[in-house]
């Protein structure tokens, strides 16, 4: 079934429509899982091949200086800074989100050392909670203790015992969007430092870290930033903390003069002290190249299209009688959600697998949630219309009951 003219006209007027050509997407596939893994960009594919063949292949170890490998963590960080509302010199790309969270958590706790409570949301992404639990076991409850509460109790739980408020801006299950500015302000009024996890917002939303006076943030390079599987994550630290911040993973690359090979550790300047081991150059190159897709992109336009795509999909689900058993878990108010819609259904896993088999790639989250991601740089309004029609077909014809859609792999 062809999309209605109203849907076609949205694509015709889309200011981002040419960005799709910068991605290498499988033919006839509607990719709605960029909130888990962004697709390959043409620039990333070409740049990595060139670095492997020319720089690693020919220049060998001289590439650290000749091709500026040594500067990639800060240079990539500065590129990301422009997407998250930060001035240059406050972001560095390195390691994983989990490792980076450990670093900034340790730094925040040391700065606010008269307190020991880390307040978070009970349904925060598990690894964020695990990192606090691990630090608590290592340091002892008197130095670090996790307090997780429901979202509605966050504000009343902010008191003078809390050292750090640690939240994810967009909830990984529901897509609910926190008010970063309001929560950060309320935390600061109580003397609490704030760490934001931007894994499901960087590259998908307008973010204003400096304007909101955020203390620290971490984020993911392989979701909306399209850096590839296991791409380096990033750390943001406000300039006002640079003099006092420190972290325990004091590897040689974080040293003030790593190639002096001194016996004792001396932290490097500013964001460099968040480095530990040798940077993963090929992954940084892929992320650096992938970020070029954001050139000349107005983040306000990107956000507007994200909302438009999700509103269209929501309308299609709402008006289809055959989808009445799908319960929307995401906020209906566009101002209260990120760039995804989450629906619960008793057969969520099988339906998600049937969608994938029919080239509409979504993802499943236990126990019964299907997530539909809306990445404006390569999804069209006609894609969204077609995806909704395939969902209707799968449910109406009960295709999801076929046994092959019930087999689970290691990754769901």
**Whether 31 is catalytic:** no
From the candidates 222, 236, 274, 294, give the one annotated as an active-site residue.
Answer: 222
Q: Where are the beta strands (DSSP E) in 65-116?
A: 91-94
Residues 276 and 303 in one domain: no
User: Under a CB-based contact definition with an 8 Å cutoff, are residues 257 and 19 in contact?
Assistant: no
Residue 146 CA to residue 119 CA, distance in Å, equals 6
Tens of each residue's pLDDT in the chain, 412 residues: 688 999 999 999 999 999 999 999 999 999 999 999 999 999 999 999 999 999 999 999 999 999 999 999 999 999 999 999 999 999 999 999 999 999 999 999 999 999 999 999 999 999 999 999 999 999 999 999 999 999 999 999 999 999 999 999 999 999 999 999 999 999 999 999 999 999 999 999 999 999 999 999 999 999 999 999 999 999 999 999 999 999 999 999 999 999 999 999 999 999 999 999 999 999 999 999 999 999 999 999 999 999 999 999 999 999 999 999 999 999 999 999 999 999 999 999 999 999 999 999 999 999 999 999 999 999 999 999 999 999 999 999 999 999 999 999 999 8
Strand, coil or helix: what is 78? Answer: helix
Residues 209 and 154 in one domain: yes
- CA max distance for the chain: 70
Residues 280 and 366 in one domain: no
pLDDT at res. 170: 98
**Whether 223 is catalytic:** yes
Residues 54 and 162 in one domain: yes
Residues 228 and 304 in one domain: no
Q: How many CB atoms lie within 10 A of CB 202?
A: 26
User: Under a CB-based contact definition with an 8 Å cutoff, are residues 166 and 195 in contact?
Assistant: yes
User: What's the chain's Rg over C-alpha atoms?
Assistant: 22
From the candidates 103, 223, 273, 305, give the one annotated as an active-site residue.
Answer: 223
**Whether 147 is catalytic:** no
From the candidates 303, 349, 371, 405, give the one annotated as an active-site residue.
Answer: 371
Residue 20 CA to residue 320 CA, distance in Å, equals 29
From the candidates 95, 197, 215, 288, give the one annotated as an active-site residue.
Answer: 197
**Whether 152 is catalytic:** no
In 3D space, the residue among 230, 279, 253 whose CA is nearest the CA of residue 67 turns out to be 279
User: Which of 274, 294, 314 is the endpoint of a domain?
Assistant: 294
Burial zone of 358 (CB within 10 Å; 0-12 exposed, 13-18 middle, 19+ buried): middle
Residues 81 and 201 in one domain: yes
**Whether 10 is catalytic:** no
Q: What is the CATH number of the domain that holds 351?
A: 3.90.1150.10
User: Which of 294, 311, 332 is the endpoint of a domain?
Assistant: 294
* Residue at 41 is within a domain: no
Q: How many CB atoms lie within 10 A of CB 344?
A: 17
pLDDT at res. 3: 85
Range of the domain at 328: 5-16+298-406
Residues 340 and 267 in one domain: no
Residues 334 and 275 in one domain: no
Residues 202 and 344 in one domain: no
Which residue carries 């911040």 as its tokens? 245
Residues 54 and 134 in one domain: yes
From the candidates 10, 23, 31, 125, give the one annotated as an active-site residue.
Answer: 125
Residues 310 and 351 in one domain: yes
Question: How many domains are contained in the chain?
Answer: 2
Cα 220–Cα 289–Cα 21 angle in degrees, nearest 5 = 100
């Amino acid at each position: 079934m062809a999309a209605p003219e109203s849907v076609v006209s949205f694509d015709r007027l889309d200011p981002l429509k040419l960005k799709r050509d910068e991605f290498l997407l499988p033919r006839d596939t509607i990719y709605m899982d960029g909130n888990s893994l962004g697709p390959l960009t043409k620039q990333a594919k070409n740049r990595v091949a060139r670095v492997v063949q020319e720089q690693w292949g020919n220049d060998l170890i001289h590439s650290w200086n000749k091709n500026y490998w040594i500067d990639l963590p800060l240079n990539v960080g500065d590129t990301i800074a422009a997407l998250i509302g930060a001035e240059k010199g406050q972001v560095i790309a390195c390691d994983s989100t989990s490792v980076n969270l450990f670093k900034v958590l340790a730094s925040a706790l040391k700065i606010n050392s008269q307190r020991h409570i880390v307040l978070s949301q009970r349904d925060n992404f598990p690894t964020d909670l695990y990192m606090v639990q691990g630090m608590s076991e290592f340091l002892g409850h008197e130095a670090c203790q996790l307090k997780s509460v429901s979202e509605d109790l966050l504000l009343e739980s902010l008191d003078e015992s809390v050292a750090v408020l640690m939240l994810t801006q967009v909830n990984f299950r529901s897509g609910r969007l926190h008010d970063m500015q309001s929560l950060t302000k309320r935390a600061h009024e109580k003397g609490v430092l704030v760490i934001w996890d931007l894994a499901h917002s960087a590259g998908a939303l307008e973010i204003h870290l400096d304007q909101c006076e955020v203390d620290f943030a971490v984020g993911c390079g392989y979701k909306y930033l399209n850096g590839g599987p296991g791409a380096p994550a990033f750390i943001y630290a406000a300039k006002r903390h640079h003099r006092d911040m420190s972290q325990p993973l004091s590897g040689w690359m974080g040293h003030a003069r790593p190639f002096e090979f001194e016996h004792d550790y001396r932290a490097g300047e500013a964001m460099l002290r968040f480095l530990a081991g040798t940077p993963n150059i090929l992954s940084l190159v892929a992320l650096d190249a992938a970020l070029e897709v954001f050139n000349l992109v107005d983040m306000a336009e990107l956000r507007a299209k994200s909302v438009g795509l999700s509103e269209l999909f929501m309308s299609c689900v709402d008006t289809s009688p055959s989808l009445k058993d799908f319960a929307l878990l995401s906020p209906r108010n566009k101002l209260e959600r990120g760039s995804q819609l989450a629906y619960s259904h008793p057969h969520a896993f099988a339906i998600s697998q049937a969608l994938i088999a029919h080239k509409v790639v979504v993802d499943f989250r236990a126990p019964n949630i299907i997530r539909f991601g809306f990445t404006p740089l390569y999804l069209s309004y006609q894609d969204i219309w077609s995806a909704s029609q395939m969902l209707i077909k799968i449910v109406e014809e009960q295709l999801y009951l076929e046994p092959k859609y019930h087999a689970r792999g290691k990754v769901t």
